Every structure is written in C-alpha cells, then in structure tokens.
Amino acid sequence: MDHLPTVSAPAFPPLQIPYLRAEDVQVLEYDNQGFTGFPSRAGWDKTNLINATLEGQPARTVAAFVQQWLFFGLLSASTGHMFPMADLVRDFTRISPESGTRVIYTGRLEQYLVQWRGSLDPEQLSETGAYVATLDAILDEAQRHVARYMCRGGDGSVNHQMREHPDISLSIMALGVTLTRAKLRIWPDTRLFSWQHSELILSRMTEARWCPSDISMLEKLMTPSGMYFASLLRPRMAQHNHVGAECNQDKCNVMNISEEEKAEYQTAHTRECPGSCEWQHVSEAQLKGFLEREGGLPVVKVEATVDGQVQLNLSAKTIGKDGDYVAISHVWAERLGNTRDNSMPTCQLRRIQSMVTAVSGSKETSFWIDTLCVPQDNFNRRHLRPLRLRAIRDMDKVYGGSACVLVLDSELLSTNSTSPFEEQLVRFACCSWIRRLWTLSEAVNGPKVMLQFADGPVDMMTDIFHRLRDHNGFYALSQTVLTELTDFMWRIVLVRNPEETPRITAMWNACQFRNTSEGKDEAFCLATILGFGDTRPILDAPREDRWRIFLLQQRIFPKDLLFSSGPRVEQAGYRWAPRKFIGRPATTTATLPLQDDTGEATPHGFLVNSRGYAFDPPRARFWDGYPAFWLLDNVTQKWYLVAHRMVQDDGQMPWPELTKELQRCKRIGVVVNKDLDTRRFALGILVDISSDVAETFQESVTYTARFLATVNVMLEQHDRWETLRGWRNDETEGLGTHTCRTVSATPVEPGQAWCIG
C-alpha cells in the first residue's frame, strides 16, 4: 500500500502485506505466459478456486498461488507482460525493517505505470481496439474472483482459505483499483470496474469505534484503497458510544439532540479551561429590541476591559446592508450551543473572537452565532418563540450578508492545514459539520466559507479546490484517494453554483449523508437553501403538512426522482415523492444524474413524460417464489425481466402482498426512465392506471396512475426467450399452473404523459 499517501499520525501502523515466496510453498511463480491460462499451467482449477472446493490445500498455499496470479500476474498482464518477473519481484517486494521478512512494496507502481503508458502505440491507444478489450477481460476476471471470495458478502467467502489472508486480498483489491483508475486515465470512455470492500478494513473501523454511518458513507464514496487510507485516521467523535446511541448505516444519532437531552445539554469550555470561567450573557431585552427592528441583525464582539477582563457587547446591524461581520457555523452536538439562554463561557468567547480577528484581519470585527443571537425559547421562555421564528426565517440572509462564514468543527480544529492534503479531505468528508442539513444551508448561502483548522482558516471553495486541481499527484496514474473525494466535494460546489446544474438535483445529491435532529426542520431548511422567496407557509404550517407544501412550492423536480429507492409519502397524490432528502441509504439510486429531464409536482400527482408499458392484470397471481415477472414487448417481441426493487425500511409492500395488489388493478403500467430500444437496463416503477385521461391536463392524453412499487427492468438473455415463450403459451392457455410468471404488454408512446400520485 506504499503508493497511497501517508497519514501524519495514523491510528494504526500501516499494513505490511506478506510476500509468500512461491518456492516456499511449492506453487508456480507467475510465468508471463498469459493471465487467463496461468491457473491451468500451475495445476489449479479455477472452478474449484471460485467455489471454495479446494479440499486438502493449506490456506497458505492457496494464498501464495492467488498472490502469484491475482497480484503479480494481474500487474504483469495488465501492463502487457512488458516487465520480466524478476524485475517485478525485486521492485514490488522489500525486507520489512520491523519484522525482517519480505513484504509487498508498491512504492514504484507509478513509475511502472508511466513506463507502460509510454510504450503504447497509436493502435493500442484506441478505445475500441483489441488491446483495451484484452485489458478489460483481465480486470474482469480478477474482479470476479475478488467479488466471489475475498470481500464481505461474497458468495464463496465463508469457508474459503483466503479468509485467513484478508491482507493479501486487500492488496489485490488495491492493485485492481489502481489499474482501473490508470486505464480510465489513458482510455477515459472505457469500462469502469467496481471493486468490493475489504472485510479486514471494515472490521478494523468498527473495532476502532467508527460510526456505522461514516463507514457506510465512505463505502459509497471510496474504493478499498480509499477506505484503507481513511481507516488510518482517528474516527469522528470517537469519545462517544455510537453503538449505545444506536447509530446505523444511515444515521448518526450522536449528532442529534432529543427533547430529553436538551434539558441536560452542557455548553463545553475550551480544552485549556478548567471549567470555572465566567459566563457572558446577552441581554434579553436588548436582543428583543434589535430583532423587532425592520431588518435588525444582532451581532456580538468580545472586547478587553481596563482591568484585563473581557466584556461581551451586543450591537445591531441591518440585514443586507452591513456585511462587516463573520457568521459562525457549528454543530450543536459539539457543545457550542446553549438550550437554556443566550450565554457562553468566557473561554469560548475569547477563542471565537481571536479566530474572527484572524480571518477578518481586524480586532473590530463582530460575529454572529446562533447561540447568542437567536432567542432560546426552551423551558420558561416561550414568550420569545415569535422572535425565534423570525430570526430563523432570516438565517439565509444572515449567512448570505456576512463577510464570510467561519466553520468550527472539532475534527478540523484538531487538524493542521499543513497535514497531507488527502488527510485533510478525508477529515472534511467525515467531520460532523459536513453531515448536518443546517450547515449545508450555511455553506451554500455564505459568500465565502472558511474552514477553521488548528493553525488557521482555509477557504473551502478557493484554497481547497485550487489545491485539488494543482496537486502534484492528482493526475498520477496510481492516484486513487484524491479522485475518489472529488465527487463528494463537487456536491457542495454544484449547490452553490446552480447555473452548473439544476439546484434541486444538486440538493438531492448533497443531502444523502446529512441529517438533522428535528425532522420537521427539513422542509424549511431545504426551502431556505433553494432560495424560496417566502418560507413562512412552510414554517407556519402544522408539522404534518410541511413536506407537502415544500413539494408544491418547489414544483419542478428531476424526472429520475420518481425512480429512486427509499421511503415515500403515503398521501394520495404524493406517493411518487420521497419522504425525505436527508439520511438516505447508499443505494444505486441515491444520487441522480445531472440532466435536465424534469416533472411537475401538483396536488393530483407528478406530471412527467416517460416511456413504459401497459398491460391488463394476469388472470392468475404472479408467482410468489421469485420477486419478479417477465414482460414481452408485443411490438418488438423482446423479453424483459421486471424485478421488484426494495431497500431496507422503504415502506413498500413485500412481493407477496404486491402480487395481490396487482390483481386488483384495472390496468398495470411499467414506467421506465430509459429507452429500452437502445439500452439493456432501466429503472422503473409499477403503477395502477386508473384512467386514460387526466381531466385537469388537456394538452395531451395523460395516464393517471397510482404509484405501487419500484422495479428494475432488464433485457433478458436471448437464449432464454424460447423458454419464456413456452411459459407464456402455457399461461395463456391456462395449462399446468395456478400462478403467472409472464405478461404481454403494449409499449406506450415515447413521450407518454403520466400523472402519478
């Protein structure tokens, strides 16, 4: 793993992967005579290897052979067998100073890849040539073996001898990732291979008390190489018990503050303070007076007194006119808030003011922080609720009108801006601030976002992205960690720059790993980020109506939102809509493509133009034994598999119940997001078509339909069509079965209008 960046203070010593010498365990060294045929030449059966039927073979012998074939053989074959094996063994192994044994060494991987790229001739550089096809076949075979028995969840992994050597498996995954990335840099429009994650790294992160939601997020964002790098860092909020807090893959409960916890909430002192410093309070009357003024914006400044103490001064500015203040963005779970009143300990105020002075360049700069400048209405302060709501409504203007937004997060505050750049990016991706919905609003609305590191502030949009672009290693063939984090960073950039992509699409993608303590806040917070002119209809509405009002006010949504997985609104007319944007599971539909196809939310349903099929319910129920059916396009005579797609806790009917519901439909529709005439796969939904015409929309014939379930639609293999035709004939004639597995469907018009509710 030596080709990966280093970590300044790793939580674990870097892994050393043992080199199992072929002669020590009597296996054949890779012979540079061809990748696919090597197992046979070496006396191994690939079928037995992949099915874990290697009785009598010691685990060390199996691991030595796999290392020869899927590490050294993969490296040699992928680079065209241009390097002698003696050179590869010499340059990709070394003696460990710690153990004195020979281990795998990848520090020269970039050098070898550059030499390989330089040797390619114009014909080999063609993306449609035989050279790339051969390389794809090599990577595909290696990836299939990794997926089968070297990763968590592999079908053949439970009893496989490679389970005893997860470190060797990890080195093969990391090499596969690097070769895939190098291939895409040389041939950008060729096949992408996804490499599964290492059981060793996932277990290590769990044992190190990483939050399950952080592990799940990184699994989605990063390859095995990136996960290994991240595992060397200390986990976020490690002082908390994520297991006891019942954190899961989709949500970190440690960051949420329940109503019960509000009563016990304690504002933290600085690390250097013994906890006995004086508390500074904001005058309730003065705060109330400033907020009642038109455009009134309270700000604070910490100033020294003549006797060497400090004094907290509250003053007023006008929203949108006076921008010479710094807006503080923080996560309440990190204890900079106060649930009882508008006060903070002196130690924290000194620290914040010094940071504000550093970022602004002036001791005279005031700052705004919600802890002091938004009235707290908990406990016996309910009379302040109207002013609190007003202050919350204006928060987008508060951040947008500031000189800059200063982010205070404990992970960043304990990291130096001079530490390895990849380390900074992983810490940023995992920090508490990046996981909250409210802080996304603050990041989007602020004119400039400054991240406070241990040694000073860093401009998130300028410094980080310029460094990402200019980083010496970004374009290296062996680079993986930086490129994996680029997509995550761009999610924020695209929300800040709506001209680059529809902001609602960027919002959906950016919210996947974020959450909020109060679910009722989501609609208002999203409306704030999206720039709704008036958010009062949402904020003033009963909790149960807020999401529906948000959907109607936003009105235009990406078409592909209709096909996404996850919980949906249960109310008629809105069943098409996701129940939330935040805290979504890491599924294949969790992010939306940045395209322009849209639909319109109405009280009747989602208006959208899309391809699909329509058919009458079968006379017999669909077969319970398999959550799918086969659809015959009665125009093209092609067969498609329509498979029920569910994710955990999505609220959909299980397949047996869905089959009963389909029997009750007047007519069934399969709506798809892609043209299946030119593609083999599409996302789809099943709908109950209740009418051919929606009376309120007169421009064209519109199918009004009730949302039922999400499905995947795939072109079936041609060699199965004859079998399917036989099933179809038997079912049509009522022979031999009381259930149904096939339907014959009519394709709708390419631009068919639907109203799906």
Q: What is the pLDDT of residues 322-334, one digit of tens each?
A: 889 999 999 998 9
pLDDT per position as a tens digit, 671-685:
999 999 888 899 999
Model confidence at 127: pLDDT above 50: yes
Q: What is the mean pLDDT of residues 432-460?
A: 88
d(CA 239, CA 335): 13
pLDDT of 269 reads: 97
pLDDT of 695 reads: 44
How many CB atoms neighbour CB 675 within 10 A? 10
Model confidence at 659: pLDDT above 60: yes
Pick from 367, 347, 350: which is nearest to 359 by CA? 367
Of 125-129, 495-499, 620-624, least confident by mean pLDDT is 495-499
Pick from 151, 150, 146: which is nearest to 179 by CA? 146
Cβ 714 vs Cβ 681: under 8 Å: yes
pLDDT per position as a tens digit, 384-397:
888 998 898 888 89
Report angle CA 651, 655, 658 to the nearest 5 degrees.
80
pLDDT of 31 reads: 96
Percent of the chain with pLDDT over 90: 56
What is the signed CA dihedral for 519, 524, 527, 532, rounded to 10 degrees?
170
Percent of the chain with pLDDT over 70: 93
Pick from 599, 595, 596, 594: which is nearest to 610 by CA? 599
Beta strands in 223-348 (DSSP E): 279-281, 296-304, 310-318, 325-330, 343-345
Model confidence at 157: pLDDT above 60: no
- Model confidence band, residue 405 (pLDDT cutoffs 50, 70, 90): very high
pLDDT of 697 reads: 43
Model confidence at 108: pLDDT above 90: yes
pLDDT of 500 reads: 55
pLDDT of 705 reads: 96
Model confidence at 611: pLDDT above 60: yes
Q: What is the mean pLDDT of residues 541-557?
A: 94
Q: What is the mean pLDDT of residues 465-482?
A: 66
pLDDT of 159 reads: 78
> Parallel, antiparallel, or unpaired for β 605-609 and 753-756?
antiparallel
Mean pLDDT for the chain overall: 88
More confident position, 738 or 554: 554
CA-CA-CA-CA torsion sign (240, 261, 345, 300): positive
pLDDT of 698 reads: 43
Q: Burial, 498: exposed, middle or buried (Cβ in 10 Å; 0-12, 13-18, 19+)?
A: middle
CA-CA-CA-CA torsion sign (329, 331, 336, 337): positive
pLDDT of 132 reads: 92
Q: What is the mean pLDDT of residues 447-462?
A: 89
d(CA 498, CA 243): 38
Model confidence at 255: pLDDT above 90: no
In this structure, what token pair is assigned to residue 162?
Answer: 């490679």
- Model confidence band, residue 643 (pLDDT cutoffs 50, 70, 90): very high
Of 427-441, 596-610, 630-644, 668-682, least confident by mean pLDDT is 427-441
Q: What is the mean pLDDT of residues 724-730?
A: 92
pLDDT of 518 reads: 78
In this structure, what token pair is assigned to residue 504?
Answer: 């609602």
More confident position, 250 or 86: 86
Q: At what angle do helices 224-231 and 421-430 cross, to 10 degrees?
A: 90
Pick from 629, 630, 627: which is nearest to 644 by CA? 627
Report angle CA 304, 308, 314 to the nearest 5 degrees.
25
Cβ 231 vs Cβ 207: under 8 Å: no
Model confidence at 114: pLDDT above 50: yes
pTM: 0.80
What is the signed CA dihedral for 594, 596, 597, 603, rounded to 10 degrees?
100
pLDDT per position as a tens digit, 474-516:
567 767 777 777 666 767 766 776 665 678 888 888 888 888 8
Max alpha carbon distance in the chain (Å)?
A: 99
pLDDT of 276 reads: 92
Report angle CA 34, 40, 45 to the nearest 5 degrees.
130
d(CA 79, CA 135): 9
- The tally of CA atoms less than 13 A away on the side-chain side of residue 540 is 6
Model confidence at 694: pLDDT above 60: no
Q: Burial, 447: exposed, middle or buried (Cβ in 10 Å; 0-12, 13-18, 19+)?
A: middle
More confident position, 520 or 140: 140
Of 75-89, 186-200, 275-289, least confident by mean pLDDT is 186-200
Model confidence at 699: pLDDT above 80: no
How many CB atoms neighbour CB 623 within 10 A? 17
- Residue 559's Cα: distance from chain center in Å? 20
